[in-house]
Amino acid sequence: MPLTRRKLAIPARPPSVRLARAWVRDILNEIGREDLVTSAELGVSELVTNAIIHASPPLTVAIRGTVEHPRVEVTDATPGPLQATTVEIADEADVPTTFGRGLALVAMHSHNWGSFTTKGGDYKLVWFEPAPGMRPDADLSPIFDETDEDGVVEQTPEAGSYTVTLGNFPVPLYAAMRLYQFELRRELRLLALSDPDRYPIAGETLDAFTAALAIRPTDSTFDRADDAVGSDTVALDLECLAPPGTPAVMDRLIDVLKRCYDTFADEHLLAMRPPPELEAFQEWFYGEFMRQADGSTPQPWAGPMALPEISIS
């Protein structure tokens, strides 16, 4: 029996190991695969720990496949080869007892396991199919050929996914938004680390960005946009599948960004408030994912295609 793919976005922090274990355990119990819980907990603990230490957020855990062969996936934003966990963490309460045993642990508790990086290099996904018990003679070599002929992973759309059309998508403005949001997240991380009690909105905004990145369409839609940045392309017509939880995530992101801008309006921080053209584009971009979830007719972008040039006299 096929399973509807479920996905959980997790912070890149040690307590997420425990969160991932509990989430996977609950789903396996729900589908009647209690015999796989121990192996699944050990495997997901190792992969999440590996991702926290060696990779970049956003991090997600997902379950898909079938009841007979459920598949656990851990995704991070650092493409490249897998890394073995070899460092120590001070708070042992937040890490599994198997920490440091390496990825061999995953292999020995799996029927199969593997890894791939998307063609656009956006993320790395490591997966395993938990076995009912330990397999000491397991092949420790991961499978790396889980991509289609174009190098892009094939994924079954989640139930309730819907099509989003982004007409007249402005490539230069999209490039400016990417750069702005990179700078914004960097400043928010500094604030969240240095003075979280004074700036709780910093952590809240970062969490909203993480949730939004976690539901980014896994097809090649935004690979096209990324590839067009820096070219002569001014506009694209894009179409993608959005998972069912997208409207709530986008609504939260729009709300928290507005509150973030208002909070720091008088702080004069470098990247806090974008130019009005960029703010309007962000609201249109995220808003179309919300509007079209209800079946509304797509509204192509009708604003400027790029930020105005600033002349210095």
Determine if the pTM surpasses 0.75: no
pLDDT band at 312 (very low <50, low <70, confident <90, very high): very low
| Separation of CA 127 from chain center | 15
pLDDT at 97: 36
On the question of a cis peptide bond just before residue 58, with omega within 30 degrees of 0, the verdict is yes
217 or 90: which leads in pLDDT: 217
Q: What are phi and psi of 170, to 5 degrees?
A: -85, 105
| Start and end residues for every CATH 3.30.565.10 domain found in the chain | 6-130
Asked if residue 216 lies in contact with residue 275, where contact means CB atoms within 8 angstroms, the answer is no
pLDDT at 152: 41
Residues in the chain: 313
For 199-237, letters b (16+ CB in 10 Å) and e give bebbbbbbbbbbbbbbbbbbbbbbbbbbebeeeeeebbe
pLDDT at 251: 94
pLDDT tens profile 202-253: 888 888 887 787 677 655 677 788 788 888 999 999 998 888 889 999 999 9
Least confident of 90-99, 110-119, 220-229: 90-99
6-130 CATH fold: Heat Shock Protein 90 (3.30.565)
pLDDT at 172 over 90: yes
CA torsion, ordered 70, 4, 241, 274, to nearest 10 deg: -80
